Structure 1
Amino acid sequence: MYRARDHVQNERWLAELQRTADRLDLDTEARSRATDLFLSTVTEWDDDDNDDSKRAVVAASLYAGSLIEGDQRSQGAVADAAGVARLTIQQRWKDLLERAGLQPPSW
């Protein structure tokens, strides 16, 4: 769960999340889920306000949000749109789901 303050403190990254979602042409539900995942987990991933870390959380949130909501995009497509390596998403998305209190798929 997140607080309103988290939304304000991460306004720049939420705007980046929306721009990346636009590039991916994600539907509203996937965007909303990605936003919730980002805000629910960003403070756990980022101890020093590192831009690369937050960009990675944006990418992993978008991938996981699209997967959950059935508007799935490949890790490579999300990585390209977000400006991160595919490996970044691969390494973070399942842990991101667990940190948000969700069960990642076992496949």
Structure 2
Amino acid sequence: MYRASDELDNAEWLDALETAADSLDLGTDARTQARDVFLSTVPESERSKRARVASSLYVGALIAGEQRSQTAVAEAVGVSRLAVQQHWKDQLEATGLEPPGW
């Protein structure tokens, strides 16, 4: 879980998450899930936060049943697809969420 101050400390990254979610046309549930995942797993390093925003969006969309490709999410955030691929499973596990059955 995260603290309320985490939202303030990461407002810039949450704005980036919302902008990317707009371009991906994600619904409210996917956005909420993505915010929660990001804030629950936010890295210390500023350098890693953009990749975590992307993987959080990917996880949020999966959980909400609005699956988007790793490539589409990566492009929306401005990172490589590999950045999404490297982080999404760890974030999913760290937050205790499970993907829908495929």
Per-residue deviation, 1:65:
0.4
Matched residue, 1:40? 40
Q: When the two structures are superposed, what TM-score results if normalisation uses the length of structure 2?
A: 0.93
Matched residue, 1:21? 21
SS at match of 2:62: helix
Per-residue CA shift, 1:72-98, capped at 9, x if unaligned?
100010011110000110111000111
Q: Distance in 2 between matches of 1:82 and 1:100?
A: 21
Identity across matched positions, percent: 60
Count matched residues. 102
Runs (4+) off by over 3 Å: 103-107
Q: Is the 8 A contact 1:98 1:104 kept in 2?
A: no
Q: When the two structures are superposed, what TM-score results if normalisation uses the length of structure 1?
A: 0.89
Q: Distance in 2 between matches of 1:41 and 1:61?
A: 9
**Judging changes above 3 Å, is the alpha-carbon distance between structure 1 residues 27 and 104 closer, same or farther for their aligned structure 2 residues?**
closer
Matched residue, 2:61? 66
The one-letter code of the counterpart of 2:61 is: S
Q: Distance in 2 between matches of 1:28 and 1:106?
A: 21
5+ unaligned residues in a row in structure 2: which ranges? none
Matched residue, 1:3? 3
Matched residue, 1:84? 79
Per-residue deviation, 1:105:
6.9
Q: Is the 8 A contact 1:59 1:78 kept in 2?
A: yes
Q: Do structure 1's residue 94 and structure 2's residue 77 form an aligned pair? A: no
